[in-house]
């Protein structure tokens, strides 16, 4: 079968999911016709190096961050996306042309709003599968953060925008839970890359960090100065910057897939803004984990709360790395259960797509 991918290109999580599923489908003899990435920024080098199929980058709705590059400015994001609506309409026309030219059998969406808009506008009859941990909020076991009614409503609405009524939702989950077939909601393990699975984890007594927004680097630099005997390797989403040292114990690296995996397999513990995929990779490698949700990023708050429910991570409002230095913050049994969930149900997604 021929599949066409649509990927929301902010950060690294959805890009990594697409690479992993591409690998699985090609291994089963299927074809990925192309990948369409919705992003207004330069794509990480690791994605461009590994993609190996035609890909198109289109203008797509995104977030505006504050001056400190820490938090999301919700109102400014809405205004900018309204202002840039003509660009997004052009993107929709390009999508229609690409689909007409390639004629795929199945459309797969990694939380990119453009394809959902296309699907509704042009009433495409092809099967559409929508992937994301975001859809797990529709499962009865999920609990939202307390309060924040408007954020909760907005999140649900954005999920609706990204997943048309006729689509099949693949909810990636930290834990094994029953499917909700009446709602076309299927609970599947996270998409873990084979290169992660092939690693033999060790503990070389250093901390590994990944931050989506570079504004958090100031907190990490200050902590590193006050804890000079703790070695820290950190990655940030700054592809234009070279490797940068802050003192003898802290190094910031531009995002690199191979190097990141190498450090992740060897670190003592992992701390990150509360994206989904790198947390899953760290959990698979049985690491202690600290999640720090990006300011005003409700989705990341949900990720952190759900990871805590699963026993995989602790969370905080800042990068207080003291919280993960002590080994008692690692729930060994929960990490073992997570790895078993991934390994024992690894083929569930492909079977759903083939069916």
Tell me the CB-side half-sphere exposure of residue 43, using CA atoms within 13 A: 23
> Is residue 90 classed as helix, strand or coil in its secondary structure?
helix
Token pair for 99: 């689909």
* More confident position, 184 or 245: 184
pLDDT the model gives residue 65 = 54
pLDDT the model gives residue 80 = 58
pLDDT the model gives residue 55 = 84
pLDDT the model gives residue 17 = 92
pLDDT the model gives residue 123 = 87
Q: For the whole prediction, is pTM greater than 0.85?
A: yes
Token pair for 132: 């994301």
Assess contact for 217 and 252: CB atoms under 8 A.
yes
| 141-150 per-residue burial string, b: 16 or more CB within 10 A, e: under 16 | ebebeeeeee
Tell me the CB-side half-sphere exposure of residue 153, using CA atoms within 13 A: 4
The CATH number of 195-343, from 3.40.50.2000, 3.40.50.720, 3.30.300.20, 3.40.50.2300, is 3.40.50.2000
For residue 68, name the pLDDT band (cuts at 50, 70, 90): low
Ranges 80-94, 202-216, 302-316, most confident: 302-316
Superfamily of domain 2-191+345-354: Glycogen Phosphorylase B; (3.40.50.2000)
Distance CA 21, CA 74 (A): 31
> 58 - beta bridge partners?
38
Distance CA 307, CA 174 (A): 7
For residue 307, name the pLDDT band (cuts at 50, 70, 90): very high
Give the DSSP H or E segment for 2.
strand 2-8
Q: Which one-letter DSSP state was computed for residue 216? A: G
pLDDT the model gives residue 107 = 96
Distance set, CA 202 to CA 267, 269, 340 (Å): 7, 11, 19
pLDDT the model gives residue 199 = 95
pLDDT the model gives residue 62 = 58
* Burial of residue 298, with CB atoms counted within 10 A of its CB: 0-12 exposed, 13-18 middle, 19 or more buried: buried
pLDDT the model gives residue 328 = 55
- Segments of the chain assigned to CATH 3.40.50.2000: 2-191+345-354, 195-343
Distance CA 261, CA 195 (A): 8
């Amino acid at each position: 079968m021929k599949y066409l991918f649509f990927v929301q290109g902010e950060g690294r999580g959805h890009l990594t999911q697409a690479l992993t599923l591409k690998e699985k489908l090609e291994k089963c003899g299927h074809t990925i016709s192309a990948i369409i990435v919705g992003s207004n920024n330069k794509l990480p080098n690791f994605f461009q190096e590994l993609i190996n199929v035609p890909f198109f980058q289109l203008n797509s709705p995104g977030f505006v961050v504050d001056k400190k590059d820490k938090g999301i400015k919700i109102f400014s994001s809405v205004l900018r996306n309204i202002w840039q609506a003509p660009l997004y309409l052009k993107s929709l026309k390009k999508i229609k042309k690409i689909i007409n030219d390639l004629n795929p059998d199945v459309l797969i969406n990694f939380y990119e709003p453009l394809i959902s808009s296309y699907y509704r506008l042009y009433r495409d009859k092809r099967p559409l599968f929508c992937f994301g941990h975001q859809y797990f909020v529709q499962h009865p076991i999920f609990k939202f953060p307390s309060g924040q009614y408007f954020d909760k409503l907005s999140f649900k609405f954005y999920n609706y925008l990204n997943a048309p009524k006729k689509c099949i939702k693949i909810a990636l989950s930290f834990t094994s839970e029953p499917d909700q077939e009446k709602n076309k909601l299927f609970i599947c393990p996270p998409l873990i890359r084979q290169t992660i699975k092939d690693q033999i984890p060790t503990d070389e007594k250093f901390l590994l960090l990944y931050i989506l927004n570079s504004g958090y680097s100031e907190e990490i630099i200050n902590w590193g100065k006050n804890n000079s005997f703790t070695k820290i390797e950190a990655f940030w989403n700054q592809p234009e910057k070279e490797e940068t040292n802050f003192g003898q114990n802290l190094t910031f690296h531009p995002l690199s897939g191979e190097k990141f995996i190498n450090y992740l397999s060897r670190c003592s513990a992992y701390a990150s803004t509360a994206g989904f995929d790198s947390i899953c990779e760290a959990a698979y490698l049985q690491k202690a984990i600290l999640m720090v949700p990006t300011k005003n990023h409700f989705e990341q708050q949900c990720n952190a709360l759900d990871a805590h429910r699963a026993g995989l991570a602790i969370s905080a409002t800042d990068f207080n790395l003291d919280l993960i230095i002590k080994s008692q913050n690692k729930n060994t049994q929960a990490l073992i259960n997570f790895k078993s969930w991934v390994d024992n149900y690894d083929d569930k997604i492909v079977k759903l797509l083939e069916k």
